[in-house]
A and B are shown apart, each in its own frame.
Chain A
Amino acid sequence: MSRPTINTPGLHLLGRFSYSSLLILMLVCPVVAQAQEQDQPGSSHPKLDNQVCFDCHQCAAPTANDPCLKSCLRSRGEHGVGRQPSAEYPEVIIIDELLELYKPVVFAHKYHADMSKMGAGCTECHHYSPAGNYPACKECHDAAVTSLDRPNINQPGLKGAYHQQCLDCHIAWSNTTGCNFCHLSIEQALAGKDIRGEGDSYHLSQPRIKSEARYVYETEYEDGPMVTFYHDNHVDMFGLECADCHQGDACGSCHRVGAIARVKGDLHEDCSTCHDENDCTICHRSSVAPAFSHAAKSGWELGAQHENLACSACHNTARASGMLSSSCGECHQSWEVGNFDHAVTGLALNIEHAELDCESCHGDPLFANTPICSSCHDGDVAYPEDVPGARSNDN
């Protein structure tokens, strides 16, 4: 009777990295490692002194131009850190290698990559990867999980790799092992639900993070015990990224309903990245502070045109209190006849007026004062009784 075998490294030696090949290589390696050390004492790998060359490289003489790095590196100590620039990583990955019982998973790679900034970066999932090179799971994990030909039982197959990696976090905060958390069942798919078609469908059943708009803290600081923190202002208006404040916390601290996530470290330290630490009254008040209001803060009310802009659209300093003058031209330097649609102000100019320079009517750079008609017209014409065009209703 032919005996089933699983470890048949000979078959895989040529094609792909296998454990046996690593073993053989490691036997040869110390010699090479020594040679390398002699050639380049204390060279570019200061943190890797416990490793041998073939842990990472697949050729005997790696060079800077051709480092011949293994794609399925399984290093013993250090492994890659850092991130690829966001443009280079895929936004969405459809995982459909293993389709027996369930439909593909639409994996929101970019969301996860962004979230990983709160942890160890790409290596949070792409473990054992050489720095700067993060191969897809299937590069190293074999899809043939049910076959006896699987080259290496010491490493999870592709299905195991996905489920071990994803569920490690997902179970911890969702407390469910239901497959439909990530997959649609064939039945659901047949019933017409196409996970790729629905707008923001990447999330499927994953709950969106629900943070409170406002948190009120009572502190022991006598002169101002109440600290009011508007989370929504910071995220939506000030445009902070999660990782700017949250670091090293479990996924469930944000995703679990009612969870309160911690911030990086000391609150004073974190907040003073933007706020002046020496002015306690910025945060500490005797009562609950109102939400941010540009008018109250600066005296300049944001009109319809400005209120949806991120602070950074106008203020380019980290501390938004970098004051701007109220001259429109400070930002809108390029406005001139022909490229400004006056209708956005609620008044569409007629053809005679549309060709005039701004200054012809607006004598001051604030554009806030009443336009002057008398520079051209006799005294019988005056704004707002007379308008140089038509009022539009949409504003």
Chain B
Amino acid sequence: MDRKKFFKTVGIAGTSLVAMSSTADARTRIVSPDWMGMLTDLSLCIGCRKCEWACNEANKLPNKPIQSFDDPSVFQEERRTHAEQFTVVNRFEVDDRPEPVFVKKQCMHCAEPACASACLVRAFSKTAEGPVLYNKDVCIGCRYCMIACPFLVPTYEYADAFSPEVKKCTMCFERFTQQGEVPACAGICPREAITFGKRSDLLKLAREKIRSHPDRYVDHIYGEHEVGGTNWLYISPVPFEELGFRTDLGETPYPEMTRPFLSAVPLVLSIWPMLLMGSYMFSKKREGEAPSTDLHERVDS
């Protein structure tokens, strides 16, 4: 590519970025009644961490014998999800409550995922079924998704020097679409603290639980409105801010907020990944493989 051509490409890319950001406000918010989701009832969770074990099994992540998950010493510090652990359970001691509250964390499967909108090559997509999925074949490793996610979920396989991927919970997409089974964590949870179902049904269930047991729950379904809604919902016996949940996120979908930020990123930074992707796709084509495109039907954004 000669100098002249390079600047021409940059010019076109720059214009299209501006165009993209100006259409942002016209977007209509889509919350599909058919989306599947999960409801975690924190009043039921006992911190047994069987969901962590089952998640590792289902996703072929490094695992330990199930008995070792009974060890409560991991609760001494608050843990984060990482590339080898898509879900973690943390313990919170809450004032005036004799028993601690346990919180299972994983990807929230946002209705309008910040990770997806931050990704310049559309490696993340919101599926029609609800889960937000990652396509390793188009990822260029820029890790914008990690910065964009308000829940600090996607993580990079730093340990893998050759083909590192961004990793996170998939809501066991294959498992429920193809094997007819609920996600692994929901299946193993002894107390059924995690329920899998249509997001709209789960919201009804959550509301009914709160209505019929006002002594057991605070009147808040986390994820109903946060960041424009998420497919993973929570109900809790104590206010969410006491359990490490971010309650400062507002109800505006993150993509609407991150887009101006992204368009302000210096041109060379935003264009660099595109160029890389271009050369990546080019090289893939040369190898005779079609670059894999969208695996899943995409909710239009």
- The finding on whether chains A and B are genuine partners in a shared complex, rather than unrelated, reads yes
Residues of A at the B interface (CB closer than 8 Å) are 1, 3-7, 101, 145-150, 153-154, 156-157, 159-160, 163-164, 167, 171-172, 177-179, 185, 187
- Among B128, B129, B198, B208, contact of A6 (Cβ-Cβ < 8 Å): B198
CA distance A34 to B131 in the complex (A): 48
Known pairs A171-B46, A177-B48; A148 contacts B34 (CB<8 A)? no
Q: Which residues of B contact A157 (CB under 8 A)?
A: 192
Residue of chain A at shortest CB distance from B36: A4
- A138, chain B: closest CB distance, angstroms: 15
Please give 15 more A-B residue pairs, beta carbons under 8 A apart, in addition to A4-B129, A147-B181, A172-B99. A1-B128, A1-B297, A4-B176, A4-B180, A6-B197, A7-B197, A7-B198, A146-B187, A159-B190, A159-B192, A163-B190, A163-B191, A163-B192, A164-B44, A177-B48
Q: Does B113 lie at the interface of the complex (its beta carbon under 8 Å from any beta carbon of A)?
A: no
B224 close to A (CB within 8 Å)? no
Contact indicator per residue, chain B 194-212, by CB within 8 Å of chain A (1) or not (0):
0111100110010010000
Q: Which of A101, A148, A177 contacts B176 (CB 8 A)?
A: A148
How many A-B pairs with Cβ below 8 Å?
74
Q: List 9 A-B contacts (CB under 8 A).
A: A1-B129, A4-B180, A145-B182, A146-B182, A154-B205, A164-B191, A177-B48, A177-B70, A179-B190
A153 to B182, CA, bound (A): 12
Assembled-state Cα–Cα distance A2/B189 (Å): 26
- Are B190 and A1 in contact, with the CB atoms below 8 A? no
Task: Report if B47 contacts A (CB, 8 A).
Answer: yes
Interface, chain B (partner A; CB < 8 A): 34, 36, 44, 46-48, 66-67, 70, 99, 128-129, 176-177, 180-182, 186-187, 189-192, 195-198, 201-202, 205, 208, 297
Specify which of B48, B182, B196, B205 lies most central, judged by the most chain A CB atoms within 10 Å of its CB.
B182
B192 touches A156 (CB 8 A): yes
- The smallest C-beta distance from A176 to any residue of chain B, in angstroms, reads 9
The SS class assigned to the A binding surface is loop
User: Are the CB atoms of B197 and A153 closer together than 8 Å?
Assistant: yes
Contact B66 A167 (CB under 8 A): no
A238 CB, min distance to chain B CBs, angstroms: 35
Q: What distance in Å separates the Cβ of B173 from its nearest Cβ neighbour in chain A?
A: 10
Q: Return chain B residues, CB-CB under 8 Å to A159.
A: 190, 192
User: Please, which residue of chain A has its CB at the minimum distance from the CB of B66?
Assistant: A101
Output the least CB separation between A96 and chain B (Å): 15
Shortest 4 CB-CB contacts between residues of A and residues of B: A160-B192, A146-B187, A163-B190, A153-B197
The answer to whether B177 and A167 have CB atoms under 8 Å apart is: no
| Min C-beta distance of B11 to chain A, whole Å | 40
In whole angstroms, what is the CA distance A334 to B190 when docked? 60
Q: Which residue of B has the minimal Cβ distance to A165?
A: B191
Q: Is the CB of A177 within 8 A of B46?
A: yes
CA distance A153 to B205 in the complex (A): 8
A3-B34, A7-B198, A154-B205 known; A164 and B192 CB under 8 Å?
yes
Residues of A within 8 A of B44 (CB): 164
- Which residues in A have their C-beta under 8 angstroms from that of B208? 154
Q: Is the CB of B177 within 8 A of A4?
A: yes
Task: Check A145 against B187 for contact (C-beta < 8 Å).
Answer: yes
Q: Are A178 and B70 in contact (CB under 8 A)?
A: yes
- List residues of chain B with CB within 8 A of the CB of A160: 189-192
Closest residue on chain B to residue A178 by CB atoms: B70
User: What CA separation (Å) do A163 and B195 show in the bound complex?
Assistant: 15
Q: Which of A7, A145, A147 touches B192 (beta carbons < 8 Å)?
A: A145
Residues on A with beta carbons closer than 8 Å to the beta carbon of B189: 160
B72 CB, min distance to chain A CBs, angstroms: 8
A4 and B181 CA atoms in complex are apart in Å by: 9
Residue of B nearest to A158 (CB): B192
Inter-chain CA distance A7–B205, complex, in Å, is 13
Give the Cβ gap from B14 to chain A, nearest Cβ, in Å. 38
- Report chain A residues within 8 Å CB of B129: 1, 3-4
Closest Cβ neighbor of B47 among chain A residues: A177
Cα A185 to Cα B70 in complex, Å, equals 13
Chain A residues positioned under 8 Å from B205 (CB to CB): 153-154
A101 to B70, CA, bound (A): 14
Q: Is B180 within 8 A of A153, CB to CB?
A: no
A160–B189 Cα distance when bound, in Å, is 8
CB < 8 Å neighbour of B180 from A147, A156, A177, A185 = A147
Tell me whether A146 and B34 are in contact in the complex, defined as CB-CB below 8 angstroms, given that A167-B191, A171-B99 are known contacts. Answer: no
B181 touches A148 (CB 8 A): yes
A5 to B177, CA, bound (A): 10
Nearest to B46 among chain A residues (CB) is A177
- Judging by beta carbons under 8 Å apart, are A179 and B181 in contact? no
Inter-chain CA distance A147–B183, complex, in Å, is 10
Taking the nearest CB of chain B, how far is it from the CB of A107, in angstroms? 15
B236 to chain A, nearest CB (A): 16
CB-nearest residue of chain A to B65: A187
Per the bound structure, the CA–CA distance linking A5 and B99 in Å amounts to 36
Residues of A within 8 A of B36 (CB): 4
**Closest chain B residue to A176 by CB distance?**
B70
In the bound assembly, the distance between CA atoms of A172 and B205 in angstroms comes to: 26
Closest chain A residue to B102, Cβ basis:
A177
